[in-house]
Amino acid sequence: MRHVVIDGPGSVQVQDAPDPVAPGLDGAVVEVDATAICGSDLHFYDGDLPAGGGVAVGHEFLGTVVEVGPNVGRFHVGDRVLTASVAGCGHCDGCATGDPITCVDGPKVFGSGALGGGQATAVAVPAADFQLLAIPPGIDDEAALLLTDNLATGWAGAKRADIPLGGTVAVLGLGAVGLCAVRAALQLGAGRVLAVDPVAGRRARAESFGAEPVEGPTVAAVLEATGGRGADSVIDAVALDATLTDALSCVRPGGTVSVIGVHGLDPYPLPILMALLRSTTLRMTTAPVHQTWRELVPLVAAGRLRTDGIFTHRYALEDAAEAYAAVAARTADCVKVILQP
């Protein structure tokens, strides 16, 4: 097989590796038809997270089942499937809730060292009956890839933002997850979604989704847009120190800040007194991807929640280095990339 490895800041290789085998009696092997670069993959590329001797990356992929263990009951060779980015044992009380983050054995993320990377020609998938989802009719490849992580993350972030019906939401960061959060917030009843990003073209993209772009320093711009009150809910899809502080500063008293961006390893100096005096609710979420499928799949299949306009480019898997450089530039025209083996 071939897979993408990041072995240092800005260094991407496509390497040979042994072909995967089904991991255990309940595992499967998926031949990858399409995979994607996620913003969190860039933490290895940018050097925010250590790559050690090299990390086989990628946690968003779909494909065809080519091998199953004898205890797999729901899937067969030839089935076309997508998988959740986060894996659990599939058998414990935590996994029974549909949230592998609460797995008794601890969650594992594809492409982070714990499991093989999804940016590959094939991937070993543990606990296949729990981990995989047959791609339903009406779900195209772009939608299916978003259901592995980004759409689920944007949806979970919006749900945990306590959006009042008709309320105002500010979304900080308009990469793929932020754009998914924009659509999720509107679907969940937001009256206004303020779109915040330093790149004008990304604000324009969010505007085409139904958001209101705001320019200038975030706190001042959001306060101006809300008559000085602040947003009812703020979704931070970046999680830099600066965006976290902006989020806590531009949410209204009694409002909720929902963090779905991936922070670095250095601790964040939380302005706890300000948050206390303003009765701020702060939530941080790794999406319960499996749990979100019950809600998202019917909405996407029925066309009620759109997934177009997120993916902007396609590259061959062998051109992963070029693809990563394009995504890392964070331009208006390149938001999210599909890699195809």
Same domain membership, residue 65 and residue 90:
yes
Residue 89 and residue 118 share a domain: yes
pLDDT digits (tens, 9 = 90+) for 210-249: 999 999 999 999 999 999 999 999 999 999 999 999 999 9
Do 200 and 273 reside in the same domain of the chain? Answer: yes
> What tens digit of pLDDT does each residue of 148-191 get?
999 999 999 999 999 999 999 999 999 999 999 999 999 999 99
First to last CA, the chain: 10
In which region does residue 243 sit, left (phi positive, over 0), alpha (psi from -120 to 50) or beta (all else)? alpha
- Domain of 164, CATH number, reads 3.40.50.720
Q: In sequence order, what DSSP letters do the residues of 90-118 get, joined into one string?
A: SSSHHHHTT-GGG-TT--EEBTSSSB--S
Residue entry with tokens 């531009």? 250
CB of 288 within 8 A of CB of 97?
yes
Domain shared by 122 and 162, yes or no: no
Give CA–CA dist 83/85, Å, rounded.
6
262, 143: one domain: no
139 and 8 co-located in one domain: yes
- Pairing label, strands 108-109, 168-172: unpaired
Instruction: State which residues form the domain around 230.
Output: 154-284
Residue range 136-146: mean pLDDT, rounded: 95
> Total structural domains in the chain?
2
Please check whether residues 306 and 216 belong to one and the same domain: no
Residues 135 and 26 in one domain: yes
Domain closes at, from 238, 269, 284:
284
Answer yes or no: do 334 and 222 share one domain: no
Confidence (pLDDT) at 51: 83
The CATH number that applies at residue 301 is: 3.90.180.10
Q: pLDDT at position 50, please?
A: 86
| Predicted local confidence at residue 49, as pLDDT | 87
Give the per-residue pLDDT at 41: 95
In 108-263, beta strands by DSSP E: 108-109, 122-125, 132-134, 168-172, 192-196, 212-214, 231-236, 251-259
**Confidence check: pLDDT of 193 > 90:** yes
Q: What is the chain's mean pLDDT, rounded? A: 97
Is 251 in a helix, a strand, or coil? strand
- pLDDT value, residue 39: 93
Q: Which of 228-231's residues contact partners 24+ apart within 8 Å by CB, and which partners?
A: 230/255, 231/168, 231/169, 231/170, 231/194, 231/255
Contacts of 11 (CB under 8 A, 6+ apart): none
| Burial (CB count <10 Å: 0-12, 13-18, 19+), residue 17 | middle
- Are both 8 and 145 inside the same structural domain? yes
Task: Determine the Cα–Cα distance for residues 164 and 281; give it in Å rounded to an integer.
Answer: 14
Same-domain check for residues 36 and 66: yes
User: How many Å apart are CA 56 and CA 18, to the nearest integer?
Assistant: 13
Q: How far is Cα 244 from Cα 252, in angstroms, rounded to an integer? A: 14
CA gap 118, 240 in Å, rounded? 26
Tell whether the model's pLDDT for residue 255 goes beyond 90.
yes
Report the percentage of the chain scoring pLDDT > 90.
Answer: 96
Q: Tell me the pLDDT tens digit for each residue of 27-66.
A: 999 999 999 999 999 999 999 888 888 999 999 999 999 9
Neighbours of 25 (CB within 10 A): 10
Residue 156, pLDDT score: 98
The answer to whether residues 258 and 305 belong to one domain is no
**Is residue 225 classed as helix, strand or coil in its secondary structure?**
helix
pTM of the predicted model, to two decimals? 0.96
